[in-house]
Amino acid sequence: MKKKLCVILMLTVLCVTLACGINTVFAEEADGAEILVVSDDIETKGVYVEVGLIIKGNGNGTITATARNNFTLGFTELYVMVGLFSSDQFQFNYEDMELETYNFTKDLNIFEEISTTASTNGESKYWRAVVMYRKDTDDWKTISTPCMLYDGNGNLIE
């Protein structure tokens, strides 16, 4: 019973530690004794991040892409780059489109947004919003909207 209680306590401390960004706590067994060791040299990270992305035509000859930090669990630095890509023809991949504009931040806090806006130059084109983000030192992740056709005024056609 004591061992189960100790394990539950250690798991609780570990969960609270990860959620709060406190230094990581390890359980070690030395000569049959259980020891808690707090590590000062372990880099703390956020546990979970949810990023959203929208694209909209503004009806005034511009298109806007907005990325939002919808949720963050734990303390983290969230690097975010949001961009707008356009093409005269439908493209399945944003890499085959032209980058029109972008915006970048080194730390997008929870519930904050970052946007970028581009002019249509009065032309009907296909547009796609893309956000690239990473938390702490993790790998970069990419989200993109579908390729959508907007007229020269920034109104959605299809």
Question: Where are the domains positioned within the chain?
Answer: 2-38, 48-150
User: CA 67, CA 82: separation in Å to the nearest integer?
Assistant: 6
Cross-strand pairs, 50: 71
Residues in CB range of 31: below 8 A, 6 or more apart: none
Q: Where does the pLDDT of residue 149 fall: very low under 50, low under 70, confident under 90, or very high at 90 and above? A: very high
Whole-model pTM: value is: 0.72
Quick: pLDDT tens for 89-134. Answer: 999 999 999 999 999 999 999 999 999 999 999 999 999 999 999 9
Quick: pLDDT tens for 83-92. Answer: 999 999 999 9
Strands (E) located in 1-147: 25-30, 33-38, 48-57, 62-73, 78-87, 98-105, 113-119, 125-135, 141-144
Contact by Cβ (8 Å): 50, 131: no
Cross-strand pairs, 12: none
User: CA 127, CA 140: separation in Å to the nearest integer?
Assistant: 22
Q: Which CATH number fits domain 48-150: 2.60.40.2060, 1.20.1600.10, 3.30.465.10, 3.30.70.980?
A: 2.60.40.2060
